[in-house]
Amino acid sequence: MNVSTIWSLLVLTLPTENATARMRFWRTLKAKGCAVLRDGIYLLPYTEEREQMLRELANAIADSGGTAHLLRAPSLDAAQEQEFRALFDRGDDHAGFMRSLKDARKTVSGQSTTDLTKLLRKLRKDYEAIVAIDYFPGDASTRTEAAWQDFIGLIDTVLSPGEPHSAERPIRRLSVGDYQGRTWATRQHMWVDRVASAWLIRRFIDRDARFIWLTSPGTCPAHALGFDFDGAAFTHVGERVTFEVLIASFGLDEDPALLRLGEMVHTLDVGGALVPEAIGFEAVMSGARERVADDDQLLDEMSRVLDCLYTHFASAAKTRDAEGRS
């Protein structure tokens, strides 16, 4: 093995008289994926962020009556490198998660939108927890990622039948003025990308838009502008979901609040970097689908939520700009 890893070592003695503090520190070390070299000596592959976390933990241990020393050192040789890396084998974690996915697949049929959303959220949290501490990913990581993406696809199929495949084509810049008072069509029983796209159309592109909710893409009238289904005028292109394609198509990509909303929609529709607001939006969307009678009501209800998020993101962007100029 040619690569020599730099390691952060935490040598500690936990407080003997504070059982609560000891348990808290042990849980933190485990959650961060620290390997145990021997009693009181913990190991992590060095990064500045991880070392800062260990430094803060060392200070907390000292404050609670224990002792902690933080060291940094490279592997002595290839044999030691291999020995230390083996301490971070997450094979059992990956195997356990794969079993959870297998069990979850058996329960998908017949579950409500709310229950499926909760199941997906729990499993996503479990998956991200493993990935966060899988410092030397290998074949097990690759297999788990593939199984996870397949499971997400299964849930998407149940929650949002007819989800479009990504097209490979250029995104043409269009004039908003040419798209006024039009009829727009998408699949009924909207989920995140479709409801956000419909909101975007009515809020920023065509304020007089009329919407048709299709039982299947094949029933789309010739005069209607389809979105978010295969063959639609506006659908997934490359890595972009329909909401992002609409932003790019109509020159709305100078708006940081819309771009931030796009990140959230992208994460919820096809996965990606976690956006803090995504979980809350997904929960509200799930509840709204259970509560309202049809897609017109769903759009009205979720438009208020999206208006609030847009205002929040716009305000945050202005604050960052002001701080950058000061």
In the chain, what are the domain boundaries? 6-86, 91-159, 176-325
The DSSP 8-state label assigned to residue 178 in this structure reads G
pLDDT in the model for residue 293? 86
Residues 6+ apart with CB under 8 A from 114: 286, 287, 290
Please give the structure tokens belonging to residue 302. Answer: 């979720």
Distance CA(297)–CA(317), nearest Å, equals 30
Whether 196 and 227 have beta carbons less than 8 Å apart is answered as: no
Neighbours of 73 (CB within 10 A): 12
CA separation for the pair 166, 63 (Å, rounded): 54
Fold of 6-86: Alpha-Beta Plaits (3.30.70)
* DSSP state string for 265-321: HHHHHH--S--TTHHHHHHHHHHHHHH-SSHHHHHHHHHHHHHHHHHHHHHHHHHHH
pLDDT at 113: 79
Entry pTM: 0.59
**72 in helix, strand or coil?**
strand
Provide the total of helices (H) and of strands (E) in the chain, helices listed first. 11, 7
Q: Rounded to an integer, what distance in angstroms lies between the CA atom of residue 249 and that of residue 242? A: 10
The string of pLDDT tens digits covering residues 50-104 is 999 999 999 999 999 899 999 999 999 999 999 999 999 999 999 999 999 999 9
Q: What is the mean pLDDT of residues 297-304?
A: 96
- What's the pLDDT tens digit per position in 157-183? 777 666 777 777 889 999 999 999 999
